A and B are shown apart, each in its own frame.
Chain A
Amino acid sequence: MSSENLEKLQQSDAPASTAVHQRDVGKEEAAAQEWKTAALVGRTVTVNKPRQELYAFWRDFNNLARFLENIESVQVKDPRVSHWTVKAPAGQTVQWDAAITEEQPDRLIAWESAPDAQIKHAGRVEFLDAPPGRGTWVRVTLAYEPPAGELGKAIAKLFQKEPKMQARRDLRRFKQLMETGEISTSARCRQQAQT
C-alpha cells in the first residue's frame, strides 16, 4: 500500500511533510536512514532578509541555541561536526554529536546525528527565494527515530511531545531574531522572562 501512496504524493508539488499518509512517509525515511521507525516534521517560514544573511547565521551552529528552545548549547567542534546539549528532566542533560552531511552555500544545510546518538535525527534547512521583494523561505525538515526505553520516554516528553509545535515555535524565534534583532517576550520583568 505504501509505495502507491508515495507515488501519488510525488505527483503533487507539496513537501512530503504535508502528506496525509504520514506513516508511509515515515517508513520510507526509516529505510533511507536505516532506523527502525521515523517521523517527519516540516515547517516553512518567510523571513524578510536575503538568503545569504540567513544562511550565514544558521551555518554558524553556535548560533542555534539562541532560538532553539530546548537546546542548551551547540558547540562547533570542527567545520563539520558539532556537539549538542539538550536539557532533560531532573536537571540532567542529553548530549550528542552531529555532522553536516550536505551543504550548498546560501541554499541548503543538512546534518545528521552520530550513529551512537540517543536522539537519532537528521535535519535539513533550505533557503529558498520567496516571491520578489518578500525575502526568503526557510524550510526546515526534521526526521527522527522516536527513542525507546525509559530515557527515551523522558526525552520524548521534552523533545518530541509535539515536535511539530516545537519546530513552529523555534522557527518563529529564528524569524524574530533575524528580522527584529531580538526574541519577543511578553514578560514584564527579567525574572518572569527566565522562567
Chain B
Amino acid sequence: MRALTWHGKHDVRMETVPDPEIINPRDAIIKVTSTAICGSDLHLYDSIIPSLMPGDILGHEFMGEVVDVGKGNDRLKVGDRVVVPFTISCGKCYFCQKEQYSACDNSNPAEKADMSEIMYGHPMSGLFGYSHLTGGYSGGQAEYVRVPYSDFGPIVVPDGLEDDKVLFLSDILPTGWMAAENAEIEPGDIVAVWGCGPVGLFAIQSCLVLGAHRVIAIDHHPHRLELAKTMGAEIINYHDVKVREALDEMTGGVGPDAVIDAVGLESHGFAIDNVIDAVKVASKVLGTDRAHVLREAILACRKGGRVSVPGVYGGFADKFPVGALMEKGLSVRTGQTHVQRYSEQLLEMIGEGKIDTTFLISHRLPLEEAPNGYKMFKERQNEVTKVVLKTPAARGAVQ
C-alpha cells in the first residue's frame, strides 16, 4: 500500500510499504477514505516530539471502511463505515472504565511503555501515528490501517453523513470539546482561547455551545482570527496588542474566568521567555518545552479560575509561574483527549446540524500529495487551516 512516512525533520515521503494484517483477535483492518493532517503532526514534522523512527507511518485522524475483522471482534463487520479515535483504548482497564480513555493502561505495548514510564512516571497509552513513546503504531495517512481493540474504539457512522462532516470526530472536534468542558464554564463566564488553529476554533465553538458569555480568541494569523470572529469570538492579534493588558481591559480588570491553551509547545512570538526557550530547544541540551502561552495564560487567568490545556507538551518547562498558579488558586485540567467519551454525543450534534466542522477545511488533496500538504500546513498557516487527504478509495476522490 501507499503511505506517508517520516524520515527526519521536514522530511516526509510517500512510500510503498507492506499492507497491514490482522494480528490480534480484536483487530480490524480499515481501508482509509479520508485522513487529515493535525497540529500534532507538525510537532513530529518539526522533530520536537522525541522517539520517531525513519519509516514510521504518520497520521491519527482517519476514517474509512472495515475490510477485515479479527475472530474476537463481535462488534464491527466488513463494510462498516467508521471513524477511528486517535487514542487506542482497550475498554477493559480501570482507566477505560472511568472513561479516561487516553490513559488506557493496556494499549501501549509492554516493550514500548518503559520510555514514557521513565519520562512521565507512568506509561502513556497507545496513539496512532505518533511517537514510540505512545507505542509506535502505524498511522492513518495510508491506504490501510491495522486498528487494535477495534471492537471498542471506532464509531460507526451513517452513510448519509459524508466524510468531511464526521472525520474530525477522530481528534480535533472532541479535543476542542474537552478543552471547553475542562474550562468548567459557568453562566456569565468569559473564556480566553490562545491559538485559532483547528483545536482552538473547535474549542471556541464548544465554549459557546456550553454557555460561555463571551470568548476571546488570540492568534496572529488574520484569516484564522477572522474564522474565530465568524464563530462568535472577540479577537486579539498578539502582534498588534499586548495580550495580558488587553485581556484585563476586556474583562473589567478581573481576567478571564477560564483560559485555554490551544497552542502547546511550539508557540511563536518574540516574548523574552519564548526566545530563551527556543534557544534551549535548539541546543537540545536542556530539552525544555516552549511554554510561553501556558505562562501567559496562567498570569492572565482570574483568581480562582480554570486553566485548560489541550495544547501538547512533551518535556519540561522553565520559569513556570508556579507562584501565580498557587497564590491565585487556579485549577488545571489537561490531557490527550478521551475521544471515545464524546463520540456518540458529538455525532448526534453533527447529525442535528448543531455543530459544523466543514468550515475548517481549506484544502483537499490526494493522499499522494501528503508531503506537500505538510509543507503548506506548516508554512502557510494563515490560509491553510486544515488539510484533508483523500485516498483513491474515497467517494469522488480528488485524484
Q: Mark B71-104, 1 if CB is under 8 A from A, else 0.
A: 0100000000000000000111110010000000
Inter-chain contact B138/A186, CB cutoff 8 Å: yes
Inter-chain contact A134/B111, CB cutoff 8 Å: no
Which among B21, B108, B113 is the interface contact of A189 at CB below 8 angstroms? B21
Inter-chain contact B94/A46, CB cutoff 8 Å: yes
Segment with Cβ contacts to B, from A7-15, A32-40, A175-183: A175-183
Inter-chain contact A185/B114, CB cutoff 8 Å: no
B220 part of interface (Cβ distance < 8 Å): no
Q: How large is the interface on B (under 10, 10 to 19, 20 to 34, 35 or more residues)?
A: 35 or more
Q: How far is the CA of A173 from the CA of B123 in the complex (A)?
A: 13
Which among B24, B72, B97, B105 is the interface contact of A185 at CB below 8 angstroms? B24
Find chain B residues with CB under 8 A from A183 CB.
Answer: 24, 109-110
Q: Which residue of B lies closest to A162 (CB)?
A: B114
Inter-chain contact B94/A180, CB cutoff 8 Å: no
Find chain A residues with CB under 8 A from B97 CB.
Answer: 48
Inter-chain contact A184/B92, CB cutoff 8 Å: no
Find chain B residues with CB under 8 A from A186 CB.
Answer: 109, 112, 126, 135-138, 148
| Residues from 301 to 354 in B contacting A, C-beta threshold 8 Å | none
Find chain A residues with CB under 8 A from B19 CB.
Answer: 189
Whole-angstrom distance between the Cβ of A135 and the nearest chain B Cβ? 7
Q: How far is the CA of A48 from the CA of B94 in the complex (A)?
A: 6
Find chain A residues with CB under 8 A from B252 CB.
Answer: none
Inter-chain contact B21/A172, CB cutoff 8 Å: no
Q: Mark B46-82, 1 if CB is under 8 A from A, else 0.
A: 0000000000010000000000000010000000000
Q: How far is the CA of A189 from the CA of B72 in the complex (A)?
A: 18
Inter-chain contact B90/A179, CB cutoff 8 Å: yes
Q: Which residue of B lies closest to A179 (CB)?
A: B92
Inter-chain contact A165/B110, CB cutoff 8 Å: no
Whole-angstrom distance between the Cβ of A26 and the nearest chain B Cβ? 23
Q: Which applies to chain B's interface (DSSP): helix, strand, loop or mixed? A: loop
Q: How far is the CA of A168 from the CA of B105 in the complex (A)?
A: 13
Inter-chain contact A182/B25, CB cutoff 8 Å: yes
Find chain A residues with CB under 8 A from B26 CB.
Answer: 180-182
Most B CB contacts (10 A, CB to CB) among A69, A179, A180 go to: A180
Q: Mark A148-184, 1 if CB is under 8 A from B, else 0.
A: 0000000000000000010011101101100111111
Q: Which residue of B lies closest to A194 (CB)?
A: B23
Inter-chain contact A169/B136, CB cutoff 8 Å: no
Most A CB contacts (10 A, CB to CB) among B17, B72, B105 go to: B105
B377 part of interface (Cβ distance < 8 Å): no
Inter-chain contact A169/B111, CB cutoff 8 Å: yes
A90 part of interface (Cβ distance < 8 Å): no
Which among B24, B105, B114, B146 is the interface contact of A175 at CB below 8 angstroms? B105
Inter-chain contact B107/A184, CB cutoff 8 Å: yes
Inter-chain contact A182/B72, CB cutoff 8 Å: yes
Whole-angstrom distance between the Cβ of A140 and the nearest chain B Cβ? 14
A20 part of interface (Cβ distance < 8 Å): no
Q: Which residue of B lies closest to A168 (CB)?
A: B114
Which among B57, B138, B146, B149 is the interface contact of A180 at CB below 8 angstroms? B149
Which among A172, A188, A193 is the interface contact of B110 at CB below 8 angstroms? A172
B366 part of interface (Cβ distance < 8 Å): no
Inter-chain contact A173/B110, CB cutoff 8 Å: yes
Inter-chain contact A188/B146, CB cutoff 8 Å: yes
B287 part of interface (Cβ distance < 8 Å): no
Inter-chain contact B23/A193, CB cutoff 8 Å: yes
Whole-angstrom distance between the Cβ of A64 and the nearest chain B Cβ? 15
Q: Which residue of A lies closest to B27 (CB)?
A: A182
Q: Which residue of B lies closest to A193 (CB)?
A: B23
Q: How far is the CA of A48 from the CA of B90 in the complex (A)?
A: 12
Q: Mark B1-35, 1 if CB is under 8 A from A, else 0.
A: 00000000000000001111101111000000000
Enumerate 7 A-B pairs (CB-CB under 8 Å) in ascending A order. Answer: A165-B114, A176-B90, A179-B106, A180-B26, A180-B106, A186-B109, A188-B57
Known pairs A172-B113, A180-B90, A186-B112 / 13 extra A-B pairs, C-beta < 8 Å: A168-B114, A168-B117, A175-B93, A175-B106, A179-B92, A180-B92, A180-B93, A180-B106, A184-B135, A188-B57, A188-B138, A189-B18, A189-B23
